[in-house]
Amino acid sequence: MKNRNALIGFVIVSIVTTLAIAAPWIAPYDPATTSIRLFEGPSAEHWLGTDQLGRDIFSRILFGARVSLIIGAGSAVVAGIIGVPIGLAAGYLGRTVDMMAMQFINLFIALPGLVLALIIITMTGATMLNIVLVLGFVAWPGVARLARGQTFAIRESVYVEAARAVGGGTAWIIIRHIWPNIFRLVAVQLATVVAFAIFTSSSLSFLGLGVPPPTADWGGMVRSGVDYLSVNPYMSLAPGFSVAITIFGFYMLGYREE
């Protein structure tokens, strides 16, 4: 069951990634080129029709995949860089370090990530780099909590004790003996961070506060199509479906039985 979920996720994520990388070669049109054929429905030339500026929706979705994946992957890297060391330290050192770290982690986990992200991004400017940094910062406590829990679980295992017995220092034990053993689970958790980041960044764009136009971005495309739902529903529904299926892929990849 678990493997089947991961396989479905892997297939979806691979397809989306391939399409994103190959976008410049497979997209039939330039994503920013406008034309006089506005609000057209799907046809042989425009597979998903055209938007309010006559741009090809299918091409824009392909290029939008790049934006989503870069933000998703970037945020996961940032969350990992902040969360993993804190989780490892809290789990291995325990006591005061652990208590302080957990206090902080629990406080941050309860906060509304989107609200926080909205304020910080408005203050610093909505560039891709800022969005990646902010979303990574909002997502780190989840990663830290998992790393801490896993470290805690294997801290007392025999091989760690052996490493300690031969005189291994704290840093050496954490890097050489604990990290390799929790790496896989942390990587799985990072897939859900990617899902969260794509979810949140597309919500930001939908609210008009994410990656600024004319960049082809899924959330922004949904936003601009809302007013034309009865004219050409593909303007909103097609990019919205792309967001949903991508999030679904990463979610399945990162799904764990609790």
Site residues (CB under 8 A) for another protein? 103, 107, 109-116, 118-120, 122-124, 195, 199, 202-203, 206-209, 219, 222-223, 226, 229-230, 233, 236-237, 240-241, 243-244, 247-248, 251, 258
- Rank residues 178 and 198 by Cβ distance to another protein and give the closer one: 198
Which of 195, 251, 211, 236 lies closest to 61, judged by CA?
236
User: Are 111 and 53 within 8 A, CB to CB?
Assistant: no
- Rank residues 140 and 206 by Cβ distance to another protein and give the closer one: 206
- Rank residues 29 and 58 by Cβ distance to another protein and give the closer one: 58
Which of 106, 115, 148 lies closest to 134, judged by CA?
115
- Rank residues 173 and 204 by Cβ distance to another protein and give the closer one: 204
Closest distance of CB 45 from another protein, Å: 24
The number of angstroms, rounded, from the C-alpha of 62 to the middle of its chain's C-alpha atoms is 17
Closest distance of CB 55 from another protein, Å: 19
Does residue 50 sit in helix, strand or coil?
A: strand
Closest distance of CB 243 from another protein, Å: 6
Tokens of 76: 């996961």
Spatial distance between the Cα atoms of 58 and 62, rounded to a whole number of angstroms: 6
Closest distance of CB 123 from another protein, Å: 4
Closest distance of CB 14 from another protein, Å: 17
What are the CA-CA distances from residue 206 to residues 32, 124, 220, 241 (Å)? 19, 19, 5, 14
The number of angstroms, rounded, from the C-alpha of 67 to the middle of its chain's C-alpha atoms is 11
Give 220's contacts (C-beta < 8 A, 6+ positions apart).
205, 206, 208, 210, 211, 213
Closest distance of CB 162 from another protein, Å: 36
Element (H, E) at 22: helix 2-26
Beta bridge partners of 50: 56
- Rank residues 74 and 219 by Cβ distance to another protein and give the closer one: 219
- Rank residues 41 and 208 by Cβ distance to another protein and give the closer one: 208
